[in-house]
Chains A and B, each alone.
Chain A
């Protein structure tokens, strides 16, 4: 009998023949991330005169299966920025780890100017663009909300291709179709940002989260919401529940056309 430790637990050659290694060899091109697996849906955010509100629900879907219902997709970065992740959850966790070590490294330097949201957005956009250029993307759509170097509200987006842009209202995924039109109705431009209060902005985001729960099949009624202002820093609430949903009209609807009752 063959007693070498490297064959412990293997089928015995004299009975089963040589161990078949063929499945370990991959032929064809090297495989990188080609599709997201466990995914988060929309992240939505809006600027107001003193800061930014950002929200995302707590669901991580596995295809159409609502697999993980307590996944926090808003991550706080130091005291003045929040990052909202849509797309692949494992890539989100990788980025969160990367940002964690970035924060650690930053704290070793004795500069009194901590990284603000604009720096963070630039950093993330370089990471995302470098990865897409290696054909090995981080399959995420990301919103960065917080304060820039002048303590002004900052909100910007970056996606798996490294495309970046900024706007008074932003949303990823389904939210870009459903939430943005609602948010833009109140906050169409920078001028309107100055007219919007914190309470109005929070109300607006909650209303948009409700619309997303009604119409996005990969969404959940549990969500996280964060408000970033200069005065109180990051106020992150991670276990909010949608309120005042309207379903009462549904029992009036019967059939698909001619059925009367």
Chain B
């Protein structure tokens, strides 16, 4: 994101904390110069299929122009071994980890207290409440939750930092969201694609959206990330994919460019 380009005092966007100058105001009281947020870059992506869900994210962690590490996962299985839910968090990594651990604990406690795993819809609403609970000191993350709904269909829920959420077919989050999302609109939801050979103007008919097979979705995710890596400096190093099906959860790791 824009972190490295705004080293000044708080302006609304998270920035790299060490880059900040102490803020010495001329009037009586000194301003707080500690800014509790930063941006660790990275990008995530969730796509729901007919009977599966893929949640993916790159594994790079950044501070300004530096790479902290080439392997820092931001996609997590949550709720213990029986659970079929994955969460991805991108933005400020410390908030992301805290959020992940809270939701993970809640899912485990739900299992102990009710003797069954939490449904993805219930988990989605609970996550919204957790985020809104810190409405006035938000978790600075874009969260994407994935799983299978009660009919066994793929479900992806995406969130803003304070808990507004929505179930969607696909969603990209983080640094390269603006690069990936239009590509998904076109390739997953067939936006701006018409049925060929029907003429022009009023004759045009939108191509109907149908659920994509798993192989195609995996390929789309890889393509989305390899193109994001080319055009965004905070995205790269590795691609981690969590694939949820009724049979279980698989995890795939693929290298990305490290430059």
Contact = CB atoms under 8 A, between A and B. Distances in A.
B68 interface: yes
Contacts of A34: 22, 30, 32-34
Among A137, A167, A177, the one with the most B-chain Cβ atoms within 10 Å of its Cβ is A167
B94 interface: yes
26 contacts: A27-B28, A27-B29, A28-B28, A125-B94, A129-B94, A132-B94, A133-B137, A135-B34, A157-B68, A161-B17, A161-B37, A161-B38, A161-B94, A163-B38, A163-B40, A163-B63, A163-B94, A164-B94, A164-B97, A166-B72, A167-B69, A167-B70, A170-B69, A173-B18, A176-B68, A177-B66
A35 B30 CA distance: 12
A158 to B, nearest CB: 9
Contacts of B29: 27-29
Contacts, number: 71
Nearest to B69: A167
A160 B92 CA distance: 13
A167 B238 CA distance: 14
B253 interface: no
Contacts of B245: none
Contacts of A163: 38, 40, 63, 68, 92-94
B83 interface: no
Contacts of B98: 129, 162
A135 B38 CA distance: 14
Q: How large is the interface on B (under 10, 10 to 19, 20 to 34, 35 or more residues)?
A: 20 to 34
Main DSSP-derived SS at the A contact region: loop
Interface in A1-46: 27-29, 31-35
A162 B38 CA distance: 10
A178 B36 CA distance: 26
Nearest to A190: B71
A164 B63 CA distance: 12
Contact of A135 (B18, B32, B71): B32
Contact of A165 (B28, B92, B93, B137): B93
B88 interface: no
Contact of A133 (B22, B36, B66): B36
A189 interface: yes
B93 A189 contact: no
Interface of A: 27-29, 31-35, 125, 129, 132-133, 135, 137, 157, 159-167, 170, 173, 176-177, 180, 189
B53 interface: no
B128 interface: no
A161 B36 contact: yes
B240 interface: no
Interface string B51-92: 000000000010100101111100000000000000000001
Contacts of B97: 162, 164
A33 B34 CA distance: 8
B37 to A, nearest CB: 7
B177 to A, nearest CB: 21
A165 B34 contact: no
A241 B28 CA distance: 46
A29 B25 CA distance: 14
Among A165, A170, A177, the one with the most B-chain Cβ atoms within 10 Å of its Cβ is A165
A84 B63 CA distance: 20
Nearest to A157: B68
Given A27-B28, A135-B32, A165 B66 contact: no
B183 to A, nearest CB: 29
Nearest to A162: B94
A138 B68 CA distance: 20
Contacts of A160: 17
B59 to A, nearest CB: 10
A31 B32 CA distance: 8
Nearest to A163: B94
A165 B68 contact: yes
B61 to A, nearest CB: 5
